Amino acid sequence: MSSKWMTALLRTSCALSMIASATASAGEKTGRITSVHLAQQHVDKVFLKIDGAYSQEPTCSASVSSWDFVLDISQSTGKAIYAQLLAAQYTQTLLQVVGTGTCLLHTNYETLQYIVVES
């Protein structure tokens, strides 16, 4: 095998490992929303607290317990998720909430990736 192929294979392998480890460290909770926080000092961010235990605890916010996830509502997708979260909170509907495995929006809280509304 040529050194170019070996280098390409090694880079691909490293990239796949990084993706797998990022996915493996993403937080996931199934429960009901107990609190939603929206404030002017956190423009375009909504903080969520979900009851119950993590099925997988995020590595970036494992030592913080005040909020579980933070959602970016500056774009239409975030606003649509926020509307679903408010409806789920109002009706006390069970949700599966999954994070990105990163704390990009706030240094202490995992960024929300998606939700699944249970029936």
Residue 1 in domain? no
Residue 20 in domain? no
Structural domain range at position 80: 25-117
Residue 5 in domain? no
Residue with tokens 């509907």: 93
- CATH number of the domain bearing residue 49: 2.40.50
Short-list 41, 37, 24, 114, CA closest to 77: 114
DSSP string, 15-47: HHHHHHHHHHT--EEEE-EEEEE--TTSTTEEE
Task: Please give the structure tokens belonging to residue 99.
Answer: 């994070």
Task: Read off φ and ψ for residue 49, nearest 5 degrees.
Answer: -120, 125
Residue 10 in domain? no
Share of the chain above pLDDT 70, in %: 80
Residue 41 in domain? yes
Per-residue pLDDT in tens (0 to 9) along the chain, 119 residues? 555 544 443 444 444 444 444 444 788 999 999 999 988 888 899 999 999 888 887 877 777 778 999 999 999 999 999 999 999 999 999 999 999 999 888 888 999 999 999 87
Write the CA distances from 53 to 13, 30, 58, integer angstroms. Answer: 33, 8, 12
Residue 80 in domain? yes
Domain count, the chain: 1
Amino acid identity, position 103: C
In sequence order, which residues have a C-beta less than 8 Å from that of residue 83 and are 6 or more positions away? none
Residue 2 in domain? no
Cβ–Cβ under 8 Å, residues 96 and 118: yes
Residue 83 in domain? yes
